Amino acid sequence: MKLIEIMTGVACADFDGEADVCDIAYDSRAAKPGAIFVALRGVQDGHAFCADAYRRGCRLFAVEYRPADLPDDAVTVVCENTRRALSRMSANFFRHPDREVRVVGITGTNGKTTLTYLLKSTFDTAGYPSGLIGTNGAVYGGKHYPTVNTTPQSYEMFRLLREMADAGCRYAFVEASSLGIQQERVADIHFYAAVFTNFSPDHVGGHEHKTIEEYLACKLQLFKQCDFAVLNRDDAQYPAFRAACDCETASFGSSPDADYIADEVEPVKEAGTFGVRFLCRHNGESSRVFVSMPGRFSADNALVAFALCERCGISPEAAREALAEAGAPGRLEHFALPNGADVFLDYAHNGGAVANVLAVLREYPHDRLIAVIGCVGGRAQIRRRGVAEACAAGADMTYFTADDPNFEDPAAICDEVAGYCRDAGGVCVEEPDRATAVQTALGGTHAGDFVVLLGKGHETAQKICGELVPYSDVEQIELFRRSLQTAEV
């Protein structure tokens, strides 16, 4: 592709666009002859790596200023904003796959991953092949690829969407995080629809957002680039999201003012499946719906599915059948133990999400509710206090352990969070080694107990001292299962 084609629509100074470009690189380690290197500003300034990209063969550079150490034969295109430029360049390079695949963006403090899986399952079952991109990676056509961020860099987003389009996907359900929106990772995606799940204080401080107002403003941006919006009518920020929309909208919730309403929501356990049944009301009609995932939020997610299905021409009957079989790995995922106890796996890692998960599980008959959770290193103190207070209020016993401690001492994190928990009247144990904490918690169970492993979901590594160290809660559950089966023999 010619450079002039890749740079179409990019705000930049004049340049000679006849050069051929074989790829785009924003990490100098991926630079190669024929590629254009895009220098991004962030925690590190990508301009400092232009020389390394040059040594690897790059001679074309998209920059905000020309680095002094770049040789004279390097061709630079000076852009107003290279993050914004990378988004448009990637859209051009991958031939605008969002024109072939209907992209649905989901944003909110909690619940994005669960909803993407539920929607993908619903649309797949209804005969519309779909993909998803989010915290658990990219999934389409029976394939799964890991991703670095919940919302990958714009180049990766467009590359994955192109692959989905070429694989025959009709829809793509994408988690649009506030940082992903702020950092222009979805700036040039045309969203067929956007969904607002909920809003609560989070992601403020450190390398995240400076204020809660900034956090909200980033999420609102998504609804200025979509054709249809589905909004949570029960959330206090509903008016702000509604005001941000210049498109057709539908609302959901328990409010009588919502377009899609969930009434008479009740927890149900059928054939070993923990789920919810509710009465769905829409346009003066009502029908009973079962969702094979627990929690009031599962009813809300089902309402989102109904709204999108109606928009896309999928019948309510097809949607209901699909929802009865839906599930999301690592999102209140259920595992039965041979001793009669039940284990649940969930990604919840902030106070609000943890409180919601514990409240959901308490709706089902059980003996004790035991939580295992850690707090990520390098995050704001307010998040740790929120997690601790949620556990004190909702769990009978909590094991505080490690969850991506990175450069912090996991024992110190455990001690801090446990202190907050005890101050709030909770009962807890500190065990910095996560595998030991999980095995100890499971080993103390008997029939009727619930154990919920929080924070990791289906992740397969922990970040320790800058390195990803293999670890899986799922593997720990299977290890304990095998130990019980061996003991019975």
Interaxial angle between packed helices 82-93 and 154-166, expressed in degrees from 0 to 180 and rounded to the nearest 10: 10
- pLDDT value at position 435? 97
Least confident interval from 48-57, 147-156, 441-450:
147-156
Q: Which of 73, 93, 113 is the last residue of a domain?
A: 93
User: How many domains in the chain?
Assistant: 3
pLDDT of 487 strictly over 90 = no
pLDDT of 204 strictly over 70 = no
Residue where the block lists tokens 């299977």? 478
- pLDDT value at position 203? 54
Q: What's the rounded mean pLDDT across residues 125-148?
A: 91
Confidence tier at 65 by pLDDT (50, 70, 90): very high
Residue 57 tokens read as 């063969």
Q: What's the rounded mean pLDDT across residues 146-156?
A: 91
pLDDT of 489 strictly over 60 = no
Same domain, 140 and 264: yes
- pLDDT value at position 206? 56
Confidence tier at 132 by pLDDT (50, 70, 90): very high
Contact 418, 388 (CB under 8 A): yes
Confidence tier at 34 by pLDDT (50, 70, 90): very high
Q: Could you report the per-residue pLDDT of 269-310, keeping only the tens digit for each? A: 877 789 999 999 999 999 999 998 898 889 999 999 999 999
CATH of the domain at 480: 3.90.190.20
Contact 230, 260 (CB under 8 A): no
CB-based contacts of 115, cutoff 8 Å, min separation 6:
106, 173, 195, 197, 301, 304
**Higher-pLDDT residue of 42, 304:** 304
pTM score > 0.75 for this model? yes
Same domain, 23 and 41: yes
Q: Which of 268, 300, 323 is the last residue of a domain?
A: 323
- pLDDT value at position 208? 64
Least confident interval from 56-60, 143-147, 235-239:
143-147
Q: What's the rounded mean pLDDT across residues 325-350?
A: 89
| The CA-based dihedral angle spanning residues 441, 443, 444, 449, taken in that order and rounded to the nearest 10 degrees | 80
**Higher-pLDDT residue of 324, 153:** 153
Over pLDDT 70: what percentage of the chain?
97
Range of the domain at 114: 97-323
- pLDDT value at position 184? 92
Same domain, 249 and 366: no
Contact 394, 369 (CB under 8 A): yes
Same domain, 337 and 438: yes
Same domain, 420 and 285: no
CATH of the domain at 36: 3.40.1390.10
Same domain, 345 and 198: no
pLDDT of 200 strictly over 90 = no
Same domain, 221 and 254: yes
Same domain, 222 and 364: no
- pLDDT value at position 46? 96
Of 13, 9, 59, 11, whose CA–CA distance to 36 is shortest?
59
Same domain, 343 and 310: no
Q: Could you report the per-residue pLDDT of 72-106, keeping only the tens digit for each? A: 999 999 999 999 999 999 999 999 999 999 999 99
CB-based contacts of 352, cutoff 8 Å, min separation 6:
109, 110, 200, 202, 386, 390
Calculate the CA 103 to chain-centre distance: 15
Residue 39 tokens read as 């220098």
pLDDT of 109 strictly over 90 = no
Q: CA 228 to CA 311: how far, in whole Å? A: 9
Average pLDDT, the chain: 93
pLDDT of 207 strictly over 90 = no
Q: CA 257 to CA 259: how far, in whole Å? A: 7
The overall longest dimension of the chain from CA atoms, in Å, is: 76
Q: Which of 93, 110, 127 is the last residue of a domain?
A: 93
Same domain, 336 and 421: yes
CATH of the domain at 260: 3.40.1190.10
Least confident interval from 204-208, 315-319, 321-325, 419-423:
204-208
Same domain, 208 and 299: yes
Q: Could you report the per-residue pLDDT of 363-406, keeping only the tens digit for each? A: 999 999 999 999 999 877 778 999 999 999 999 999 999 999 99
Same domain, 443 and 399: yes
Q: Could you report the per-residue pLDDT of 341-355, keeping only the tens digit for each? A: 999 999 888 898 899
Over pLDDT 90: what percentage of the chain?
80
Contact 233, 257 (CB under 8 A): yes
Confidence tier at 209 by pLDDT (50, 70, 90): low
pLDDT of 225 strictly over 90 = yes
Q: What SS3 class is residue 61?
A: strand
